[in-house]
Structure 1
Amino acid sequence: MGRRRSRLGDRTRYWFDSTLSYGALALVGWLALLCLAVVVPASAVLVWTDPKAPASLTDRLAAVWRLTGETLRLGGATGTPLRVAVSVLLALITLLYVSTLVGLITTALTEHLMALRRGRSTVLERGHAVVLGWSEQVFTVVGELVAANANQHRAAVVVLADRDKTDMEEALATKVGPAGATRLICRSGPVTDPAVLALTSPAEAGVVLVLPHDRPDADAEVVKTLLALGRALPGRTPRPAVVAAVRNDRYRLAAALAAGADGVVLESDTITARLVVQAARHPGLSLVHRELLDFAGHEFYVIAEPGLAGRAFGEALLSYATSSVVGLVREGTPLLGPPPQTRIRPDDRLLVLSHDDDPVGLEECAALVEETVTVCGPRAPQRPERVLLLGWNRRAPLMIDQLRRGAPPRSAVDVVTDGDEATARQVADADTDAGTCLTLTLHRGDVTRPATLRHLDIGSYDSVIVLGGDPAPGRPSGEPDDRTLVTLLLLRDLERTIGRELPVVTELVDDRNRALAPISPGADVIVSGKLIGLLMAQISQNRHLAAVFEELFSAEGSGVHLRPATEYVLPDRETAFATVVAAARDRGECAIGYRSHDDVSIGPAYGLRINPPKSERRCWTARDEVVVVGEDRG
C-alpha cells in the first residue's frame, strides 16, 4: 500500500513539474487555482456564518462571488453571464496594468541598485584623491590620505580596482578603520580602460595615485594604467598631480613618459634596497624613516620666511623653537643641509620639519647654546664592514650595489642562499659590479636550517640582513615571510648562544607579520609595500617632496644618519638640544632629533625623539645617538 502511495506521489509530482515546463502561463494558472482554492471556501464560510446573509441559495452564492471578486480584485459584479464576463475582463486588464507597472518600477530600482553595488556610477566630486589599483599598499595609502584630510570637512578618496565593490568597502573598513570626515568611495572595473577611469572623475581630482600590483606583470600594468589615464584626460589643463610606482628601473622611463611632465614615478625596489642598507649601517634608522613618512608624526613643510632673507643658513637652524630647518628650496630645487654660511635669498623658501599641529614661527634660540659642552674634534675613521645577507630576491643585487657605494676598503658581504643556478649567476654578476672595496662571497645553504647558520661565525658580522624570496606566481604574496620568520627564530636562538644581540634588519612583505616576528623591541623591520605607500601619500600632498625624499634616501648626497652623541657634546653633561644643533651645524649638518639608549626597548618610540624643542635639556650619555641630515662621511 505504501509503495502504491509512493508511486502515486511520484507520478503526481512528475505531472506537476511537467505542467510547469510550459512556462509562465502554466505558473499563472496554478497560482490562480491555488488562490481560488483558498479564497472561495473562505468566502463561503464568511457568508454562511453571517447573520445578515440572504436566505436563498442563489443570493448566498452571489454574495460568495462578490466577496471572492473583491478579494482577488476581479470586480465581483453580478447579473447576466455577459455582465460578469466583462467585469472579470476589465479587472484582469487593470490587474495586468498595475502588475506591469509595479514590475517595471521594481526592475528599474533593482538595476539601479545593482549598478551601485557593482560600482559603475560616476563620482561627482572635486579636489578628491583617486587611487587606482589594489594591493597591500592600498590600506597604507588610504589610511594616510584619511589622516592628511583630518582637518578638512569635505574630503573624499575614490578607489578604483578590478574587484567587487562591496569586498573593497569591507576590507577598507576593517584595515583602515573609521575615516572621520573623509568619505571613502569604491568603484569597480579595470584600471586600464579609459571609459572605466572616467567613473572616478579624474579631471576634477586633486591627485591620482597608481599603485603597483603583486603580479609579475605589475610594471606593465602601471604603464598601461597611466596611458589610459592620459586618454581619460585629453587636453585637460591643469592636469591633476599623478604619483605612481614601478618595481623595475626598466619601466621607470616609460612610466614617467606616460605620467606626463608633472607626474612623479617612484622606483620601489631601489628605494627599498636603499632603506634596508641604511638601516643595516645605522641600526634604528628605519624608525626615523617611518616617523618622517607618517602623517601622524612630524612632516616636512616648505615655507617662506622673509625675516631670514640675507642671513646665513646656519642662523636659521636656531631660529625656530619647535621646528627643525633641514634645507632650502631654491628655484624649485631642494638643497638639503647646505653649508652654514650659505646666504638665504629673498625668493628662497625654507624646508622645515614640524609637527602638523604646531605653528611654524620665528623664535631665536641661540642663547640656549652652551659652547663649553660642544665637541669639535675629528671623527673616528670608518672601519671595514662585514655584512651577512641571508636569503635572496630581486632586490638583493640592488642592496649589494648600495653596500658597495658607501663601503670602506676591505669590506665584505657574505650571501647565504639555496637558490638555483639563476640566483648563483645573479650573485656572480653582483660580485663583478661590487668593486675593489667590497668582497662578495656566496655560501650555499638553506637559511631555515639550524646547521646552515651554526656554520657561520655569526658574531663577527656588523649587521645581518634577512630577506624573503620573491612571491611565486599564483601563490599568496605574503608567503616569503614564512621562511623569514623561521630564520629570525634561529637567529634569536643563536643570540642566546653567543651572548649578545645581533643588529638584524628584516625585510617583510606583509605588515601584519611584524607583530609575529621574533625580534627585539625597536628592531629594524622594512615592509617595502608599506614604506612605498607612505612615500606616495606624502608626495601626493606636496609634489616638491619627491626630490627631498629622493635625496634623503639616496646613497649619495645629504641623507638621514644616526651619529654618536659624543661627536657633538661631551658625555654625561646636561645641556639643551640647541647645543646639539649648534654642534651639528659646525660640522655642516642639521640635527633633527636623537635616540636615547636607555629607552631603546620602550615602545612605541623606542627612544626616538624627532624634532624636540630647542630648550629641552637632558644628560647626554656615550651611547645616545643624534639624528642628523647631512653628507655621508664615507
Structure 2
Amino acid sequence: MEQRPGAGARARYWFDTTLARGTSALVGWLVLVCLAVVVPASAALVWTSGHAPATLSGKVAAIWHLTGETMRLGGTTGSPARVALSVLLALVALVYVSTLVGLITTGLTERLIALRRGRSKLLERGHVVVLGWSEQVFTVVGELVAAGANQRRSAVALLADRDKTAMEESLQSKVGPTGRTRLICRSGPSADPAVLALTSPATADSVIVLPPDASRSDADVVKALLALRATGRGGDVTVPVVAAVRDSGYLLAARLAAGSRGVVLESDTVTARLIAQAARRPGLSLVHRDLLDFAGDEFYPAAHPSLAGREFGEALLSYGNASAVGLIRGGVPWLNPPARTVLEPDDQLLVIAADDDTAELADCAPLVDERSVAGPRPPDTRPERLLVLGWNRRAPLVLREWGRNAPPGSVADVVADEDEATVRAACDGGDSGDRGDGGGGDDGGDWTCVALRGDTTRPETLAGLDLGSYDSVIVLGQEPRAGEPPEEPDTRTLVTLLVLRHLEQRTGRELPVVTELTDDGNRPLAPLGPGADVIISGKLIGLLMAQISQNHHLAAVFDELFSAGGTQLHLRSAADYVVTGHETSFATVVAAARDRGECAIGYRSRAEARRAPGYGLRLNPPKADRRRWSEGDEVVVVAGEGRRGAVRSGGLPLPRRTPRG
C-alpha cells in the first residue's frame, strides 16, 4: 500500500501551488509573513513600554498605529471607515513609490547593460578605429598606446564581435596600462554599417582593419571595408584605412573596397618574405622589428632649407644624431637616391631618428677616416643549403622568395608530414619535377628543392639528416588539423626545436635557425640561442599597420622598402666597409657605404649578439661613436637588391597602395 505524504510535504505542496497562481498570491504571502513578524513585535513594544495605555482598546490602537507606521499602511485610528481610507491612501502611495523605483531601476539597468554591451555612440575626434579581433590586436593597440604616450589626448576605439568586458580584460592583461591613451571597446559586427557608425569613423584619424585569424575568412575584411564605405559620404571611404588579408585572392577586392586612401597588406607574403630573408642573413628580423615599433628610432621627414643646393651624399654626413636614407620630393619618397643628387629648396630629407624633432644638423665629414675605408671584396656566390622543417600555407611563398636570390646550385631540403608531390609542385610553381625554379619566370633562381616525408617532432627523423651541411634552418608551424586546438602548431614547433637543439649540442655546431610561432607568449619557451630569429606570425603586420596609421606618408616608404625588388634593408659584413681590427668612427662607415651607393643606418656587433635586449643591434648610432670593428660585425644598410647571389640579404614586400582616381 502506497504511503501517504506527511503533513509537512502536503503543506509545502499547498504553498508551492499557491505561489504558482501569480503575483497576487506572492504579494499576499508577503503581507502575511510581514504581519506575522510586525504585529507580535509591535505588541511586545507596547506592552513593555512605560507609557502604554491603561485600557485594552488603547493598547490595541497603539499596536495598530505602530504596525501601520512600520509597514507604511497608515496609522490612523478611529472608525472603521477612517482606518480604511487611511490604508487606501497608504496603498496608493506605496504603489506610486514602488512603481517609480521600479521604473528608475529598470532604466538604470538597461543603460548599464547597454554600456556593458558597448552599444553607445562615440563622440571622439582624431582617434584611431580598430576593427576586428585577431592575433594582431594586442600588437596594434600596444603600438598605438606607445605612439600616444607624448600626446595630451589620444583614443583608440576597438570594435569586434566579442563581449566588451572580455575584450577589456584581455587588453588589460596583454597590453597593460594605457597611460594617456583612452581605450574604448564597442561590441558588434564590424560588417554592419549601423554598428560601425558607433565608433565615429568619419571623425577618426585612421581606421585599421585587422586580418582574420585562422578560423575566419578574408571576406570579413572586405565586408568591413564595404561597411566603412556605407558610413562615408557619397558611398566612399573618407578616412585613411589600413587593412590586411591573408589570401592573395582577396587582395584586389580589399583594395577596391578600401578606396583611394586605403593601404592593404598581404600578411602571408610579408611574413614569408621575412622568414626567407632572415634565413639568408640571420638577425634581419631584429632590424625590421626595431625600425617598426615605436620604442626605437623611426622614419621621419626633416626639413632643413640650409641643405638646398648640396648633394645627397653630403647630407648623409650632415646629421650627428640621425641617419638620412632618402628624400621626399613633390610628396613622393625617394629611398637611397644617387649620392650626387642635388637637393632642391622644397625637398625634405627622410631620416631615421628618435623623434620627429630630434634631427639636428652637424658637420660630420671631419670624423671620416679615409685610411680605414676598406677596398671592394669579391661577392660570395657559393651555393647554399637550406633545411625547412614543417609545412603550412606560407611554405611555398617562403621557398620561392628564398630561391629568388639563391646562388646557382643552391638546394632546399623540405622535411614535412606532407605529400612529396605537393611540396615539389609548390617549389616548381605547379610543375611536377624535383627541381624548383623559385616560382617560375624571370625572378626564379637556379636552385633545387628536395622533398622528404617525415615527422619533424620525432628524433629519428632529424637524426637521419646531415645537419652540419646546412647553412640555415627554417622551422615552420604546421596548420592546425581538424579538431586540434589553435595552440597545437606552436606545441609541435617547440618539440621540433627541442630535438634540433639536442642534435646541435651532440654535433657541436649551432645552426642559424629561423622559427615561426603564432603566439608571442611562447617565445621565451623556445629552446633557441639569444638573439635568434623568431618570427611571430602577425606581429610584423601589426607593427606595419600601426606605423602607417600614425603617418600615412610612410605607406609609400614601406612600399618601396619592403617590396620584392629595388631598395631594401640589408645586413652586410663590416669588412666590406672598413678595415677590421682598427678603431674608427661610424661616420667612416657611412662614408664607405655612400661610396658604394648605399645608406648605412646601424650595425650589429658579433661580440654582443647574445646579449639582451638589443642582441648587438644598434640603429642610428651617433656619427662620432668610435669602436673597433671585427670580422664578424655587420652593417645595416639601405641599398638596392644588387646582383643575385652577390649579397645574401633582403627585405619584405608591402603591396602597393590603390592608385588615386
Normalising TM by the smaller chain, what interval?
over 0.9
In the TM superposition, 1:101-112 aligns within 5 A as: 101-112=100-111
Note if contact 1:214-1:477 (Cα within 8 Å) is conserved in structure 2: no
Encode CA deviations 1:464-523: one digit per residue, 9 max, x unaligned: 110011234664433211111111111111111221110110011111110100000000
User: 1:450 is matched with which residue?
Assistant: 459
Amino acid aligned to 1:158: A
User: 1:186 is matched with which residue?
Assistant: 185
Residue 456 of structure 1 deviates from its aligned partner by 1.4
User: 1:589 is matched with which residue?
Assistant: 598
User: 1:417 is matched with which residue?
Assistant: 416
Amino acid aligned to 1:55: A
User: 1:345 is matched with which residue?
Assistant: 344
Gaps of 5+ in 1: none
Could you tell me how far apart the structure 1 residues matched to 2:468 and 2:357 are?
45
Note if contact 1:209-1:243 (Cα within 8 Å) is conserved in structure 2: yes
Residue 357 of structure 1 deviates from its aligned partner by 7.6
Residue 83 of structure 1 deviates from its aligned partner by 1.1
**2:624 matches 1:615:** yes
**What secondary structure, in the 3-state scheme, does the structure 2 residue paired with 1:218 have?**
coil
Could you tell me how far apart the structure 2 residues matched to 1:505 and 1:563 are?
18
Could you tell me how far apart the structure 2 residues matched to 1:252 and 1:388 are?
31
Residue 459 of structure 1 deviates from its aligned partner by 1.1
Could you tell me how far apart the structure 1 residues matched to 2:445 and 2:621 are?
42
Note if contact 1:203-1:236 (Cα within 8 Å) is conserved in structure 2: no
Range moving further from structure 2, 227-236 or 501-510: 227-236
Could you tell me how far apart the structure 1 residues matched to 2:551 and 2:83 are?
80
Residue 422 of structure 1 deviates from its aligned partner by 7.7
Residue 555 of structure 1 deviates from its aligned partner by 3.3
Amino acid aligned to 1:314: G
Encode CA deviations 1:261-297: one digit per residue, 9 max, x unaligned: 0111011001111111111111111111110011001
C-alpha spacing 1:106/1:502, structure 2 compared with 1 (3 Å)? same
Residue 542 of structure 1 deviates from its aligned partner by 0.9
Aligned length: 631
In the TM superposition, 1:62-73 aligns within 5 A as: 62-73=61-72
User: 1:119 is matched with which residue?
Assistant: 118
Gaps of 5+ in 2: 431-435, 645-661
Amino acid aligned to 1:53: A
**What secondary structure, in the 3-state scheme, does the structure 2 residue paired with 1:464 have?**
strand
Note if contact 2:318-2:362 (Cα within 8 Å) is conserved in structure 1: yes
Could you tell me how far apart the structure 1 residues matched to 2:252 and 2:237 are?
22
Note if contact 2:229-2:235 (Cα within 8 Å) is conserved in structure 1: no
**2:561 matches 1:559:** no
Could you tell me how far apart the structure 1 residues matched to 2:414 and 2:373 are?
41
**2:522 matches 1:523:** no
Could you tell me how far apart the structure 1 residues matched to 2:145 and 2:480 are?
30
Pick from 499, 509, 512 the counterpart of residue 500 of structure 1: 509
User: 1:402 is matched with which residue?
Assistant: 401
User: 2:323 is matched with which residue?
Assistant: 324
Amino acid aligned to 1:320: Y
C-alpha spacing 1:597/1:110, structure 2 compared with 1 (3 Å)? same
User: 1:229 is matched with which residue?
Assistant: 228
C-alpha spacing 1:205/1:421, structure 2 compared with 1 (3 Å)? same
Could you tell me how far apart the structure 2 residues matched to 1:557 and 1:215 are?
32
Amino acid aligned to 1:538: Q
Residue 305 of structure 1 deviates from its aligned partner by 2.3
Encode CA deviations 1:572-613: one digit per residue, 9 max, x unaligned: 100110000000000011110111111111100011111000
Range moving further from structure 2, 184-193 or 434-443: 434-443
User: 1:260 is matched with which residue?
Assistant: 259
Residue 378 of structure 1 deviates from its aligned partner by 3.6
Residue 622 of structure 1 deviates from its aligned partner by 1.0
Tell me the TM-score normalized by structure 2.
Answer: 0.93
**What secondary structure, in the 3-state scheme, does the structure 2 residue paired with 1:104 have?**
helix
Range moving further from structure 2, 433-442 or 483-492: 433-442
Residue 436 of structure 1 deviates from its aligned partner by 5.4
C-alpha spacing 1:208/1:538, structure 2 compared with 1 (3 Å)? same
User: 2:658 is matched with which residue?
Assistant: none
Amino acid aligned to 2:539: K
User: 2:247 is matched with which residue?
Assistant: 248
User: 1:365 is matched with which residue?
Assistant: 364
Seq. identity, %: 66
Pick from 448, 467, 486 the counterpart of residue 476 of structure 2: 467
In the TM superposition, 1:38-49 aligns within 5 A as: 38-49=37-48
User: 1:289 is matched with which residue?
Assistant: 288
Residue 25 of structure 1 deviates from its aligned partner by 0.8
**2:186 matches 1:196:** no
Amino acid aligned to 1:403: W
Residue 173 of structure 1 deviates from its aligned partner by 0.7
**What secondary structure, in the 3-state scheme, does the structure 2 residue paired with 1:416 have?**
strand
Amino acid aligned to 1:35: C
Tell me the TM-score normalized by structure 1.
Answer: 0.97
Range moving further from structure 2, 373-382 or 305-314: 373-382
User: How much is the aligned-residue C-alpha RMSD, in angstroms?
Assistant: 1.7
In the TM superposition, 1:142-157 aligns within 5 A as: 142-157=141-156
C-alpha spacing 1:520/1:559, structure 2 compared with 1 (3 Å)? same
**2:555 matches 1:546:** yes
C-alpha spacing 1:475/1:310, structure 2 compared with 1 (3 Å)? farther
Note if contact 1:297-1:356 (Cα within 8 Å) is conserved in structure 2: no
Note if contact 2:160-2:186 (Cα within 8 Å) is conserved in structure 1: yes
Could you tell me how far apart the structure 2 residues matched to 1:600 and 1:357 are?
29
User: 1:87 is matched with which residue?
Assistant: 86
Encode CA deviations 1:431-453: one digit per residue, 9 max, x unaligned: 36354511111111111111111
Note if contact 2:230-2:236 (Cα within 8 Å) is conserved in structure 1: no
